[in-house]
Amino acid sequence: MLAIDNPATSTAALGKNEFRAAMARLGAAVNIITTTGPAGRAGFTASAVCSVTDMPPTLLVCLNRSSSIYAIFAGNNTLCVNTLSPKHEDLSRLFGGKTPVEERFAAASWTLSEAGSLILDGAAAAFDCRIMKATDVGSHTVFFCEVIATAFNEEADGLIYFDRTYHRVQRHGQTA
């Protein structure tokens, strides 16, 4: 049986740099996570997004608690996961840096979602969510998000981050 949350079985011998080097080899979709509401408007680039279950439709999104935008996401209790296409690579870099929030959002077109977050026009997919639960793990909070609506672009290719660089993922049957 697997022991969970038991400090006696923890093997904290793996170093941060070794873990990060291995994680760089784990390709992941590139997303811009957005929120807007009473706590303000914010967005960030993330690859730490994962499907949890389809009944009810649920995603998880990880956010560092030391981030300047953490309180905005926690306060609004809604978010939108905007999965990027290759044409959004520059936008991903903008949302991943220290650019002021108004400049980030001015660089693209957005639509207000049902839950009150912002959907990126032309995103490969968008998941409109309400945060149902938050769990702290290490330096991050894992938000468990109920997906209340989706949108997707059937013509869009995908954008992944692998080996510390962006890569295009083409839809099946497409050629460059």
Tens-binned pLDDT, residue by residue, of the chain (176 aa): 545 555 555 556 788 888 777 766 666 899 999 999 999 999 999 999 999 999 999 999 999 999 999 999 999 999 999 999 999 999 999 999 999 999 999 999 999 988 888 999 999 999 999 999 999 999 999 999 999 999 999 999 999 998 888 999 998 766 65
Radius of gyration of the chain (CA): 17
Residue that has been written with the tokens 């926690």 in this structure: 74
The CATH number of the structural domain formed by 28-169 is 2.30.110.10
Domain spans of the chain?
28-169
pLDDT value for 139: 92
Tokens, residue 141:
């909070």
Q: Using the CB atoms, write b or e for 90-112: b if 16+ within 10 Å.
A: ebbebbeeeeeeeebbeebebee
